[in-house]
A and B are shown apart, each in its own frame.
Chain A
């Protein structure tokens, strides 16, 4: 009886066409934004497998912004802590630097690493940064939305890709919503879902991926890692 009522409520709710609750952000800034060589923005969706005990691995969103002589870098999501356990938060540089360049062809062929690097506009970059900052605040204030942060990470990657597409289709989407057509959520454990999601997005958006060769010289891995650890370049 209660199940019946629950389902009727659900049916009624899905029929209602209430206005979207999350206010549509003005897209004027994005429409009027002019690309420039002086300032480049990239969003990287990166993930690996076979790191944690159930064969999933770090999956996170990385941001790169090069403006003149400055480079802003950072990643947020799930990574392996010093003990090899999954951790959720700001990804250490030593982890995300593995994705400053494309994974080795062998790793890609074995599907043990995935990386989709997209060049985005300034407003898109700012919106994704805002998403990651909100999650940074949630971690700092112990205000995550789920008891299992694997679900929080799914929300994080979903919000990131949705923000990219807020004003125009910047990438061909995959509907990651645990709905009937979402086979990724259906067939994978929560920790593994973002990796499979990135893999699917990589397939759908292969033409949009920015290869190492197409990256600006000052944003290439060797330069950036040398800046973090000057000894490494000696």
Chain B
């Protein structure tokens, strides 16, 4: 009788608690993906490194949440059109990579008026998409994390240059989504911050003069 080991246990394929070798070594996995134009890209190197990005997960035949989310993102894109593709980028990653080809994603984007500058739809290997989904959207809660639909209802905003991570539901108002995006904006220059302070002080002075106190805090 011949005995065969199904798994080979070596130092290389074991994770020991308390070490940095236990997976999720990269905060943002550098997985290989394909854009809606069928261009191969590396997620971190080509799309995120040094940039401010807005990421959501969707799939083309999703009839519940995804169209509403995409519609909200179109509004957000419109509001930030002056920045999109310059210092702000939007990525929509499919939750169903086995069903959503680059051409299918392109058709979805076209149908929702989302073929816009700085907005890329992405697909790839199911294993890599799962890795990415957990890295970007996990709640460390088995019930939520195992429901990909739950992750379809989130927006992750990352400014890689400043290491700012912000999370917001795209079902919130457009103003709320825009506010959350602004929290990850690049830091302002000293002059700009001083100007902002002067503008704010002027506003306070006007309110105090008018009402005797500051009305809006």
Contact = CB atoms under 8 A, between A and B. Distances in A.
Contacts of B6: 63, 72-74, 129, 132
B127 A134 contact: yes
A97 B22 CA distance: 25
A218 B62 CA distance: 51
A87 B22 CA distance: 9
B175 to A, nearest CB: 12
Contact of A145 (B10, B61, B63, B134): B134
B98 interface: yes
Given A5-B171, A63-B6, A69-B2, A154 B24 contact: no
B65 A75 contact: no
Interface SS, A side: mixed
Interface string B1-35: 11111111110111111100111110001000000
Contact of A70 (B2, B7, B8): B2
Given A93-B5, A224-B3, A149 B12 contact: no
Interface residues of A, number: 63
A31 B134 CA distance: 34
Given A89-B9, A137-B127, A177-B143, A21 B134 contact: no
B150 interface: yes
Contact of A177 (B17, B127, B130, B142): B142
29 contacts: A5-B172, A10-B153, A13-B152, A13-B153, A16-B65, A17-B64, A18-B62, A18-B63, A63-B6, A70-B1, A70-B2, A73-B5, A85-B17, A88-B15, A89-B13, A89-B15, A90-B9, A91-B7, A129-B6, A138-B23, A142-B25, A143-B131, A144-B22, A145-B130, A146-B140, A149-B15, A158-B142, A177-B143, A178-B142
Given A88-B22, A139-B15, A142-B24, 14 more contacts: A9-B169, A10-B150, A13-B65, A18-B64, A18-B149, A89-B15, A129-B6, A139-B13, A143-B29, A145-B130, A151-B140, A151-B142, A158-B146, A185-B142
Interface of A: 5-6, 8-10, 12-13, 16-19, 21, 23, 63, 69-76, 81, 85-93, 129, 132, 134, 136-140, 142-149, 151-152, 154-155, 158, 176-179, 185, 218, 223-224, 227-228
